Structure 1
Amino acid sequence: MRVTQRERVPVVVQGRGRCRTGARALWLGAETAVTCGVLILLLVVHQLWWTNREARAEAREQVSVLEREWDISPPVRDGGGLPGDSPGESDVGGGEGEGAGAGAGESSGSVPSASSVSSGASPAASSPSSGAFAVLRIPRLGLTVPVAEGVSKRSVLDRGYVGHYPGTAGPGRVGNFALAGHRNTHGEPFRYIDRLRGGDRISVRTRARTYVYRVDLVLPSTSPRDVGVIRDVPRSLVRPSYGYDAPGAYLTLTTCTPEFSSAYRLVVWAKLVSTG
């Protein structure tokens, strides 16, 4: 069959410009995805490694400064003291319980502010907001960390410190010495407190003396707004089967749970067993 001149086969010619534009867009998209991935990776490294490194270094230095000062200078007993060391406060076995109001501002590992928690008693004397007043040790976890007044993220918890809820009892006093700490990042001092078991020893050293507590109860999970856990006589408002009915000298540790989440709070309670 012959093809005449009039019956020519049509030829489609694609423009090169469109191909180049599509390839360029694809390349830019890939570059953007890689850049975003690198930035996210750097953010994760910063949060999970660098903040821990910085906070732990500062916390270790603060512990060294405190203990060096305490070893050189005599205990403070003149009323200008720190939580748990001021005169007029009674050790376990006598005196009034301290107030149990939660600190202002929310923080990772803390129970939110609730002024209604306070029992009306005068709060323990406060240390300067920029410094620590005690050293917390948990041998089972190999943990040694400074304790500072307040539960602010920026000035206390993000520095790798453990924070003392303002309005709760001082260490060694009748009432509830309530503390908060990060579970993850910024030193994560309370990361493994879920491993604590009944009978485990916890010590709190201040300039004047050392208080030894023993772990008694663990509340695996409760609401971030369960302020009952830091009251003078601690008892969960969400899970009332967890807690106490009688006054005593309690230590409360609070942090976030599960790990890498702030959805709930993990609570560990201990009782004072000796003062040295």
Structure 2
Amino acid sequence: MPPVDEHAYPPPVDEETVALRIPGPPPRRAERTRRTDGTGYTTGTGGTAAYGTDGARPEPPAATGGRAERRKASRKRHGRRDGANTPSEGSGAPQGRDAPQAPLSRVEARRRARERKASPAVVASRGIGEVFITCGVLMLLFVTYQLWWTNVRAQAQAGQEASDLQKDWADGKRNPGAFEPGQGFALLHIPKLDVVVPVAEGIDSKKVLDRGMVGHYAEGALKTAMPNDKKGNFGVAGHRNTHGEPFRYINRLERGDPIVVETQDTYFVYKMESILPVTPPSNVSVLEPVPKGSGFTGPGRYITLTTCTPEFTSKYRMIVWGKMDEERPRSKGKPDALVR
């Protein structure tokens, strides 16, 4: 065993007696040569740090030498090498995505800008999509206008016309005679369908039918009789859908159901006789004094209701016929068909 260096291993201080003691032998397998692991701590032969006799790990030795040695030792203590300021884990320096990015070159910036810009195909598809959406909205508005708003407006106009007509009757302003086109002269009642609608002269769409009224065939080759005529066919037309749709449900009428035409001084009561579900618009024979297809065999006092079919189209016509059953003066009160 080599001799013990008393200066390398000073004796421990006895805190109780403050007595001197002969130092014991050095730790087994200890190395006299000081070796550091980069942190400045002394390690043993197995690479473990050497501790003092009191079990505490000694502080790393202070750097010796000149200024350059001290700087080098300081960099090692802070985990830096070769003067590079590398951020250590747990430090406050941003890392990864949060780290500041280097400025892009002009070529790279242009390339990324082109990637962000939409291609012509994408722009075209967006434009087509917007056109389709706009068309869909317009179609929805048009359908709403046709199926809802035209009914609201036409029913209001027809109601006002009926009110004015009844007021004129009460004031004696509507005497029997010729009527101007578009002028209301009667009220049509269909009790089973809860329909009360003004009857105006002519079948003009804007002046009569689109205002929610029923139009009397009174012009040219389609001229028909008036209710007060002793013989003939009183023909009228009305919308089945939209614009008040007064004839929407005339297909529900059955034989014997009353149809009443009210004028200033008389109630004309007809009984439904027959129906022609479908016929071409060119079949004007249904309006003849003795209408063909009605089942009537000779002259009489008839009424003919005409409207479009199927619903929401004007491809064909539906025809309903009735025969005069009663002519009742207003002075005798309402007919039984209108008394509920």
TM-score, length-normalised on structure 2? 0.59
Q: What's the CA shift for 1:67? A: 1.2
Q: Indicate if the aligned counterparts of 2:308 and 2:318 stay in contact, CA closer than 8 A.
A: yes
Task: State which of 41, 47, 50 in structure 1 corresponds to 2:140.
Answer: 41
Q: 1:188 corresponds to which residue? A: 245
The 2-side partners of 1:175 and 1:233 are apart by 7
Deviations 1:71-104 (A, max 9, x none): 232772xxxx33xxxxxxxxxxxxxxxxxxxxxx
Q: Indicate if the aligned counterparts of 2:174 and 2:185 stay in contact, CA closer than 8 A.
A: no
Q: What's the CA shift for 1:65? A: 1.1
Confirm whether residue 201 of structure 1 aligns to residue 258 of structure 2: yes
Q: What's the CA shift for 1:18? A: 7.4
**Structure 2 residue identity aligned to 1:231:** E
Q: 2:198 corresponds to which residue? A: 146
Q: 2:288 corresponds to which residue? A: 231
Deviations 1:218-249 (A, max 9, x none): 1111111111100001114xxxxx43220000
- Ranges in structure 1 where 5+ consecutive residues have no aligned partner: 1-12, 83-124, 237-241
SS, match of residue 210 in structure 1: strand
After TM superposition, the structure 1 = structure 2 runs for residues 233-248 of structure 1, keeping only pairs within 5 Å, are: 233-236=290-293, 242-248=294-300
Task: State which of 317, 327, 330 in structure 2 corresponds to 1:275.
Answer: 327
Q: 1:171 corresponds to which residue? A: 227
Q: 2:312 corresponds to which residue? A: 260
The 2-side partners of 1:129 and 1:39 are apart by 35
- Ranges in structure 2 where 5+ consecutive residues have no aligned partner: 1-110, 329-340
Deviations 1:4-60 (A, max 9, x none): xxxxxxxxx996387432222221111111000000000001111111110000001
Q: 1:71 corresponds to which residue? A: 170
The 1-side partners of 2:127 and 2:310 are apart by 39
* Percentage of matched positions with identical amino acids: 47
Q: What's the CA shift for 1:264? A: 1.1
Q: Indicate if the aligned counterparts of 2:182 and 2:202 stay in contact, CA closer than 8 A.
A: no
The 1-side partners of 2:317 and 2:182 are apart by 26
SS, match of residue 186 in structure 1: coil
Q: 1:160 corresponds to which residue? A: 212
Matched length: 212
Task: State which of 254, 267, 279 in structure 2 corresponds to 1:222.
Answer: 279
The 2-side partners of 1:63 and 1:154 are apart by 17
**Structure 2 residue identity aligned to 1:187:** G
The 2-side partners of 1:63 and 1:32 are apart by 45
Cα 1:70–1:263 change in 2 (3 A) is same
**Structure 1 residue identity aligned to 2:271:** R
The 2-side partners of 1:269 and 1:130 are apart by 24
The 2-side partners of 1:262 and 1:25 are apart by 39
Misfit runs of 4+, over 6 Å: none
Q: 2:301 corresponds to which residue? A: 249
**Structure 1 residue identity aligned to 2:307:** T
Confirm whether residue 212 of structure 1 aligns to residue 288 of structure 2: no
The 2-side partners of 1:139 and 1:267 are apart by 18
Cα 1:68–1:159 change in 2 (3 A) is same
Q: Indicate if the aligned counterparts of 2:191 and 2:258 stay in contact, CA closer than 8 A.
A: yes
